[in-house]
Amino acid sequence: MSEQTKKEIYAWAKSIVFCFLLVFICRQFVFTPIIVDGKSMMPTLENNNRILVNKITSIDRFDVIVFHSPVSSAYYIKRVIGLSGDNIEVKDDSLYVNGKKYDEPYLQANKEILAEGHLTADLKETVPEGYLYVMGDNRLKSNDSRRFGFILKEDVVGKAALRFYPFDQMKVINE
């Protein structure tokens, strides 16, 4: 093997190792892919959607986040309804945070198919410091803070950034 061929092989090997290292670092510390498991976030996210989760962004009210389940070893995907210190109230299917009424347009599709009744039972909660209150968009089918309570901010993996599969449904999440 000539000296030139050895140099080319070495250059290619260096490039490949660098690429693998870059992908590893990005996946560990910046973005990670997650598969949606279940129907609790329908219609926003559907079962078996693939999403990218941004691990280095701040979390705001109404962001879709991924966190470690407080009741199993799985990841959960839910929408942040309350931040630390917030007073949450749901009354007659309307959301109030700190006394201010908020529209929830992501619930509209589920409200339209509901023959009668409410998607969300009335509730009142105050979110403790260091915690978040989360609910799924498919309120009738979601296992969320109404069942398992508040989630620790430390358990948040990150914010859902992009649905990349199925390809025909690719879109930015949390716009």
Q: Give tens-digit pLDDT for 37-59.
A: 999 999 999 999 999 999 998 99
Ramachandran area for residue 153 (φ above 0: left; ψ -120 to 50: alpha; else beta): alpha
Smallest Cα–Cα separation from 53: which of 132, 163, 152?
163
- Confidence (pLDDT) at 28: 76
Residue 40 annotated as catalytic: yes
For residue range 86-97, list pLDDT tens digits in order. Answer: 999 999 889 999
CATH number of the 34-172 domain: 2.10.109.10
Confidence of residue 26 (pLDDT cuts 50, 70, 90): confident
Assess contact for 44 and 28: CB atoms under 8 A: no
Distance CA 3, CA 8 (A): 9
Which residues does 92 contact at the CB level (< 8 Å), separation at least 6? 118, 122
φ, ψ dihedrals at 2, nearest 5°? -75, 160
Q: Is the peptide bond before 166 cis (omega within 30 degrees of 0)?
A: yes
Asked if 141 is an active-site residue, the reply is: no
- pTM for this one? 0.85
Which of 2, 14, 15, 40 does the annotation list as catalytic? 40
CA distance 79 to 134: 5
Catalytic residue among 6, 58, 78, 171: 78
